[in-house]
Amino acid sequence: MRKRTRYSLLLMLALMAALVVALVLRKAAPPEAARLLPESDAIVYANLKPLRAATHFDRSPVVRSPEYQQFIDATGIVPERDLDAAAFALHRMDDPNGPNGPVGYSEVFEGRFDGERLTRYLTSIATAKETYAGHEIFTVPVGDGHITRPLRIAQLGYDTIAASNMPTVEQIHSILDRNRAAASPFSGSSLLSARYRDVPAFSSAWAIGHIGLPFSDRGYISVFGLQLPLPEDTTFVASLRYLGTLHMRIEQITPTEAEAAHATETLTTLLTLLKTVQQAQAQLQQNAASNASFRDLIDSSKIEQHKDRAVLTANIPLELIKQLGSPASAPQQ
């Protein structure tokens, strides 16, 4: 009897140890939405819950186009209220002059969705429908009328939607295939496996891959018209963490420490120039709240070298985030 009791105790301890290991692996694993993404050149992920709780952006009026409002009326989905997390895969296109431009996208969204209303809406506007891996894929043409591209959409569950605007079905099929193995903390694309370990813990939003994809201009990176001394295939890891304030960190990963030193020196010079320009503008508009928030962002920015990486860190004022999401800054339709 004593022997049986000892074996039972050992079995219980083994099961508890296995459970602890599973929980640790799950906690360290990338978010499920990111693990579902297909192979890509870059990945962007955002957990909107902390940002919504801190800024209440879901309560701010939003300027919407008629087509966007029609989608909301038909599906009942209000993205700023119902979307909890979003993951994007960025695909470099072979033909930058094609319907997708230089970058194609695949997405996974998590939140609160009315599946029946969404299905009815997609059925009413889809030009094609396919069943794959037990899920319906709706194909919807999107574009400006002159140039259109297919947007494929599938519901993975009551709280998850996937989409891809790539020319072929390969990417949306990959998402559905990964959905079967999503319980595994080791699933995901090769980029995710290689770089997610570099994302700081507790990051609410992060991005990994080639920084030039959204900002490439003739082989170099341009942001707001400013050309940075970085080739478009520069590898980066960017993150946002809310630690009382919104902390931004961007790491440029270089082949050697010497190249990281050169990048750090060059970017520091640009940052110094930007601070000088901002100080001059602040003297002309001392009472502008937006300028004050932007000045706080610039003043907190610093660039350091960490071995083979040039690292930019800064604190983003929540007031600046609120201003960016205000009706005054919303694009006119």
- Per the CB < 8 A criterion, the answer to whether 162 and 36 are in contact is yes
Q: Give the long-range contacts of residues 252-257, CB within 8 A, separation 24 or more.
A: 252/211, 252/309, 252/310, 252/311, 252/312, 253/198, 253/308, 253/309, 254/308, 254/309, 254/310, 255/308, 256/308, 257/305, 257/307, 257/308
Read off the pTM: 0.83
Q: How far is CA 71 from the centre of its chain?
A: 22
Question: Cα(234)–Cα(97) distance, rounded to whole angstroms?
Answer: 22
Residue 229, classed as helix, strand or coil, is strand
Residue 224 has pLDDT above 60, yes or no: no
Selected residue with higher pLDDT from 267 and 17: 267
For a pLDDT cut of 70, what percent of the chain falls above it?
Answer: 77
What would the mean pLDDT of 97-116 be, rounded to a whole number? 92
Residue 231 has pLDDT above 80, yes or no: no
Selected residue with higher pLDDT from 269 and 214: 269
Model confidence pLDDT, tens digit, residues 4-16: 665 565 556 555 5
Model confidence pLDDT, tens digit, residues 276-294: 877 776 666 654 555 778 7
What would the mean pLDDT of 160-175 be, rounded to a whole number? 97
CA angle 48/50/56 to nearest 5° reads 85
Model confidence pLDDT, tens digit, residues 36-69: 999 999 999 999 998 888 778 778 777 888 888 9
Q: Which amino acid is at 122?
A: L
Q: How far is CA 300 from the centre of its chain?
A: 24
Confidence at 162, pLDDT banded by 50, 70, 90: very high
Residue 3 has pLDDT above 60, yes or no: no
